[in-house]
Amino acid sequence: MPLPPGMQAEESEEGRILTISVGPQHPGSGHFRLVVRVDGDIIVDAEPDPGYVHRGEEKMCEYRNWIQNIPHLERPMIADSCGILYPFCLACEEIGSIEVPERAKYIRVIMSEINKCIFELYWLGIYGIFLGHSTMFMWPMGDRELLIDLAEMATGARVTHAYFVPGGVRNDLPDSFKEKAIRQLDYFKHRLDQYKDIFYTNPLFLDRTEGVGVLSAEDAINLGVTGPVLRASGVEHDIRKVEPYDIYDQLDFKVHVMKTGDSFARTYVPYLEMYESINIIKQCLEKMPSGPVRTKLGPNPRGPGGEAFKRVEAGRGELAYYVVSDGTPKPYRVKLSVPSFRQIAAMPHLLKGAKLADMPAIYWSLNYWPVEADR
């Protein structure tokens, strides 16, 4: 029988191995390609193949000065655009010895947590639709609007805000922000409670995720995975706690950890973290002092040179920048270490031996964002 396009068959001693190209633009993988070899419906081998929307972020950084780098650097992760700019700004501030006003630190934390929720809702929606749970696609997509409205109110842009700059944030929050934020967050919290009923206690969802794709703590550490994936395997490692930046050390919040390390834990940890984000934002709104929100830099800011390695906890985990400066206004080298790229290493590890039908459940539970890995 002739095979459909994109498939190859080989005869081996064990039987007939089929090679299937899952993606790009496949219902199971989004715009990312996995080359999966299956024997029957058991995955023998899986090879991740990013590299579809490459645009050379790191090279582009070398052609632009610190400020010009802001708008294009958020493109790899448009759903969490504050999260990906945050460590870049921290690195520039370290290299240039730039002081950040106190109020800006609070605003940055607020926006970073709002963006974390925006990303997690988007990802949760996709996770739901790939498990065939279309309510779980529509609810988070709708509830995302609550937070996007808040972000729009503060930054003027709905998706890519270009809001963080070295030295603070672009502009102050509008007067009515606090009131509106508290109202939206209260409602959002109420919605999160409902998610538990429709999703996390749904027997179908539990069947497809519990015990599927188990990642042990040792493997998680050695593979270098990060964020909710690491915490779902029982490793309590959150950059906001272990290396607090800006004002995270003055806030009271919990790091959620689960022991099982399966796909369910990897989806439940981000869910619990959304409650913590609400908690963090409310604390910041209460404590926020008044004052300036930005240290004005010259038109071509430059530091004395040197290098900086800064990391933050973004929606998907530890996001780090290694920035080398030679004292000119343009960075000499910018290296992004993004969580999605680190999560790739866990894919073949988890998919080997799994059933093909479990592939979407495992793959999406890794909190993977294709465009970010392929920056």
Q: Are 352 and 46 in contact (CB under 8 A)?
A: yes
141-156: b (≥16 Cβ within 10 Å) or e? bebbebbbebbeebbe
Element (H, E) at 42: strand 42-49
22 binds other proteins (CB under 8 A): no
Q: Are 287 and 106 in contact (CB under 8 A)?
A: yes
324 binds other proteins (CB under 8 A): yes
307 binds other proteins (CB under 8 A): yes
Among 200, 271, 275, 332, binds other proteins (CB under 8 A): 332
First-to-last alpha carbon distance for the chain, in angstroms, is: 40
In sequence order, the 6+-apart residues with CB closer than 8 A to the CB of 161 are: 74, 81, 82, 111, 151, 154, 155
How many Cβ atoms from other residues are within 10 Å of residue 36's Cβ? 24
Stretch of residues binding other proteins (CB under 8 A), selected from 135-143, 147-155, 174-182, 334-342: 334-342
120 binds other proteins (CB under 8 A): no
Nearer to other proteins, 172 or 244 (CB): 244
Nearer to other proteins, 43 or 239 (CB): 239
249 binds other proteins (CB under 8 A): no
Stretch of residues binding other proteins (CB under 8 A), selected from 21-29, 56-64, 148-156, 350-358: 56-64
Q: In the bound complex, what is the minimum distance in angstroms from residue 199's beta carbon to other proteins?
A: 29
- Which 3 state secondary structure label does DSSP give 46? strand
Among 224, 260, 297, 330, binds other proteins (CB under 8 A): 224
Nearer to other proteins, 32 or 122 (CB): 32
Nearer to other proteins, 73 or 320 (CB): 320
Q: In the bound complex, what is the minimum distance in angstroms from residue 207's beta carbon to other proteins?
A: 30
Task: Report residue 354: phi and psi, to 5°.
Answer: -85, 165
Count, residues near other proteins per rule CB under 8 A: 42
CA angle, 169 then 172 then 175, to 5°: 155
35 binds other proteins (CB under 8 A): no
Q: Nearest-CA neighbor of 36 among 251, 373, 355? A: 355
335 binds other proteins (CB under 8 A): yes
How many Cβ atoms from other residues are within 10 Å of residue 40's Cβ? 13
Residue that is written with structure tokens 């093909």 in the block? 356
In sequence order, the 6+-apart residues with CB closer than 8 A to the CB of 147 are: 114, 117, 118, 121, 184, 188
54 binds other proteins (CB under 8 A): yes
Among 46, 320, 356, 371, binds other proteins (CB under 8 A): 320
Stretch of residues binding other proteins (CB under 8 A), selected from 8-16, 148-156, 161-169, 337-345: 337-345
Stretch of residues binding other proteins (CB under 8 A), selected from 28-36, 70-78, 132-140, 330-338: 330-338
57 binds other proteins (CB under 8 A): no
Residue that is written with structure tokens 């027997």 in the block? 203
In sequence order, the 6+-apart residues with CB closer than 8 A to the CB of 193 are: none
| Footprint on this chain of other proteins (rule: CB under 8 A) | 48-51, 54, 56, 58-60, 63, 221-225, 230, 235, 237, 242-243, 304-307, 309, 311, 318, 320, 322, 324-327, 332-333, 335, 337, 341-342, 344-345, 374
